[in-house]
Structures are given as structure tokens and as C-alpha cells.
Amino acid sequence: MTKLKVGIIGCGNIFPMHAQSVKQLENAELVAVCDSKEERAKEKAATYNCRYYTDYLELFDKEELDVIHICLPHYLHAPVAIEAAKRKIHILTEKPMAIAYEDALEMVNTAKANNVTLGVIFQNRYNPGSQLIKKMLESGELGAIKAGKLTVTWDRSDDYYLKSDWKGTWEKEGGGVIIDQAIHTMDLMRWFVDSEIKYIDATISNRAHEIIEVEDAAEGVIAYKNGVVTAFHAINYYSYDAPVEIELHCENGIAKMVADRASVKLVDGREFIAENNPAETFVYDSGVKSYWGVSHIKQINNFYNALQNGMEPEITGEEALKTQKMICAIYQSGKEKQRVTFQ
């Protein structure tokens, strides 16, 4: 089978998760990278033995790409993805899809109009713990979900924000703890509940940062049309990156996730555990953060296999659009200080 020709735009923090995954997989070849900072692009190109560019339009003009990975600041996801779609290049973008829901919707529609595949990175769905809980919900073994809650308490200091010219701004990041840190956990909860949202009632505020515009605290309720009500609490002014927690109270038991480890305790006394198995886990090199998990390679491989077999990837643009709509509604509710009801 012919290898997919892959390019990566954006050589910043998350770049190694994509580049190392592509390098490891046998069904693709990294042919070029792109970054507006030439030294950074040049360095990554030397490391991965590929060509480099400082302008993504030049990259698109000069390379015959099958797939482009977008690892850029949030505000650039939509314009780059839309341009790639118009050029018939398949797209795998980091979360969030975009800042505005309308831009994310345009990404989906442009990809569809040009018959290209759009995927969005939500790699934590592929963690063994997430897979266990989803499997036991789908099989009916856990029974219906009664309620759920999630907690994200991480540390993003002022120094963290000072290192970037786009983070901490509404215009370029699109938000704070929700759109950047808690979005993965929020996506998992929505995926577990697997129902359309009825309403969102949320508060957002900046409580502990001096130099950012966006929220560092958010809490609220997400009610679903199947009757499930879930609560969320997220801050990024804690003293360290505490393990993320999710709990689902179900008819037949309780499912819990702490970081990547899941435990399911059923009322009949049985207990199931799932966590990352070192023997089955791809080990990323230095320069990656532990909270990114180990599952980028699993999602990227699923995306490539789908392309080569004429199928849809598991996390499509349409699927990610549901999470985008949820995130945007949290901000709408928080800013307007009122409940947002879904039609």
C-alpha cells in the first residue's frame, strides 16, 4: 500500500506527538514541516529528515500532500483547514476545531464539499480506561447513567502565559481553562453520555491570574436530552496538574476515571480496571507532557487507516463539532450569565 504523504504545520509544543507518531507508523511518511519561525522549522526538518517551509501556502503549492496535521494556535485552525480542504488535502487538526462554532461548521462543510476527510484530535478517547467505560456503557452492563461529574484542577501560571503571544486572549486562544485544558475531559463526558444536549448553565471567571483576559475557572451543569445531568468544575490556578477525575453514577454501578486509570464497580460485586499497559504503549521521546497521554498515535493510525480503506475515521469533523458546540455554549452561558437551551 502506498504511504500517505504527510505535512505538519506548527512546530511548537504539541508537534512531537504528531511527528513521532508519523515516524513510527508504516502507512505514512512525513515529507515536510512548516512553522513561521524559520529556525524552529529548520531544526525539526533536520530531526525528521524532511523539507521545511515558513509559509503554509508555499507548502501547499510545492508539496503533493495527502494529509496535513494542524498544530497551530487556535485562531489559525479554521483558515488553514479550510484552505487545505479547498486543495483536496485531508486534514487532522489539534483541538479545538476553531474558536467560533460558525468557523468549525465551515470547516466541516468545506471538507464535505471537496470530498476530503476532516479529523480532530481527541486522543484520550483511545486510552484503555476510556475504552473500558465506553464498552461497558454500550453493552448495557453498567445500565443507564443517572448522573456524572468531572473535575480538572491544573496549574497554568502567569509565566506559562507570558511564553506565548496568543494564549490568554479571547481573540487568539478563544478562552482559557475550558477550551484549552478541560476540553478533553468535557469531550469524554459527552462521548460517554452519548445524547444530545438539552441545556448548559455555566459560570466563568478569572480569579487568580493578573495578565490574561480569559477564564481560569469554570463550573456548571450540562443536561442531556436523555435525562442525564452532569456537573463540571475546572480551574487552572492549582499548585500542580492534579489527575483529572470523571465519575458516572449508573444503574448497575459506578465508573470512575482518575487520570488514565479507570475502575468500574458493579452492584453485583464485580470490579474492572483498565490503565495504560507499558508493553502496549508507544513511548514518546523527551519534550512531551505526561498529561497529553499516550494515545495520539492510536488516533492518527485510525485516521490513516480510514483514508487508505475509504472509510470514515472514528472521530470525524461532524463528531468533533458536537463538542465544539458544547464548549461555545459554555462560554455563551458564562458571558451572558444565563442558561443556554439547545433546540
* Domains in the chain with CATH codes: 4-123 (3.40.50.720), 126-290+317-341 (3.30.360.10)
Position 292 scores a pLDDT of 47
Q: For residues 262 and 323, what is the distance between their CA atoms, to the nearest angstrom?
A: 22
Rounded distance between C-alpha atoms, residue 250 and residue 148, angstroms: 9
DSSP 8-state assignment for residue 182: I
Which residue type does 170 have? W
Q: Residue 287's pLDDT is what?
A: 58
Q: How high is the pLDDT of residue 12?
A: 95
User: What local confidence, expressed as pLDDT, does residue 294 receive?
Assistant: 76
The predicted pLDDT at position 277 comes to 74
Percent helix / strand / coil, the chain, rounded to 5 = 40, 25, 35
| Backbone φ, ψ for residue 205 (5° rounding) | -160, 165
**Distance separating alpha carbons of residues 177 and 180, to the nearest angstrom:** 5
pTM: 0.95
With 0-12 / 13-18 / 19 or more C-beta atoms within 10 angstroms meaning exposed / middle / buried, residue 1 is exposed
Task: Give me Rg for the CA atoms of the chain.
Answer: 20
Strand 28-34 to 4-9 pairing: parallel
**Which residues are within 8 A (CB) of 125 and not within 5 positions of it... i.e. 6 or more apart?**
131, 134, 187, 188, 191, 295, 299, 314, 315
Query: For position 279, what pLDDT does the model report?
Result: 60
Between CA 51 and CA 31 the distance in angstroms is: 6
Q: What's the confidence (pLDDT) of residue 291? A: 47
- How many CB atoms are closer than 10 A to CB 151? 19
Phi and psi (nearest 5°) for 102?
-60, -35
Asked if 149 and 250 count as a contact pair (C-beta separation under 8 A), the reply is: no
Q: Which residues of 269-289 are buried (b: 16+ CB within 10 A; e: fewer)?
A: eeebebbbeeeebeebeeebe
Q: Supply φ then ψ for residue 272, to 5 degrees.
A: -125, 140
Contact 326, 202 (CB under 8 A): no
Segments in the chain below pLDDT 70: 278-293
Burial label, 229 (beta-carbon count in 10 A; 0-12, 13-18, 19+): middle
318, three cell numbers = 461532524
